[in-house]
């Protein structure tokens, strides 16, 4: 085509659609790679958090005390006087003086 040839609007529209389609494919591919990286990092962090840790439920006793079950202490080789880190996530809140239903 020379510079004097008329531009075919249908052909120009088709090329624009193809370019848009390619741009969308590239965006989705990049977005998928980012999502995959994020999930990989998430699972790496999660694995790191659970590798040398234990998760268990316990009841808060008087004075705010909690107990680490014996099986977890043995598995993690925790002895009296050891320093441990605790992350507290309340799962059920009991009200003082609340009566529980008897079955």
Q: Work out the number of other CB atoms within 10 angstroms of the CB of residue 53.
A: 13
Tell me the pTM: 0.42
Banded model confidence at residue 90, pLDDT cuts 50, 70, 90 = confident
Q: How far apart, in whole angstroms, are the C-alpha atoms of residue 56 and residue 66?
A: 11
Asked whether 58 and 69 are in contact (CB, 8 A), the reply is: yes
Residue linked to tokens 């107990």: 67
Banded model confidence at residue 91, pLDDT cuts 50, 70, 90 = confident
The tens digit of pLDDT for each residue in 47-68 reads: 777 667 788 888 899 999 999 9
The tens digit of pLDDT for each residue in 15-38 reads: 999 999 999 999 998 888 899 888
The mean per-residue pLDDT over the stretch 78-100 comes to 80
What DSSP assignment string belongs to 3-21? TTSPP-HHHHHHHHHHHHH
| Burial (CB count within 10 angstroms: exposed 0-12, middle 13-18, buried 19+), residue 92 | exposed
């Amino acid at each position: 085509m020379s510079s004097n040839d008329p531009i075919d609007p249908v052909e120009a529209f088709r090329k624009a659609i193809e370019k848009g389609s390619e741009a969308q494919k590239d965006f989705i591919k990049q977005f998928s790679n980012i999502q995959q990286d994020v999930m990989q990092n998430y699972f790496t962090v999660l694995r790191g958090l659970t590798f040398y840790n234990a998760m268990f439920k316990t009841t808060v006793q008087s004075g705010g005390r909690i107990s680490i079950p014996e099986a977890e202490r043995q598995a993690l080789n925790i002895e009296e006087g050891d320093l441990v880190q605790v992350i507290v996530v309340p799962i059920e809140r009991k009200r003082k003086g609340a009566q529980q239903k008897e079955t």
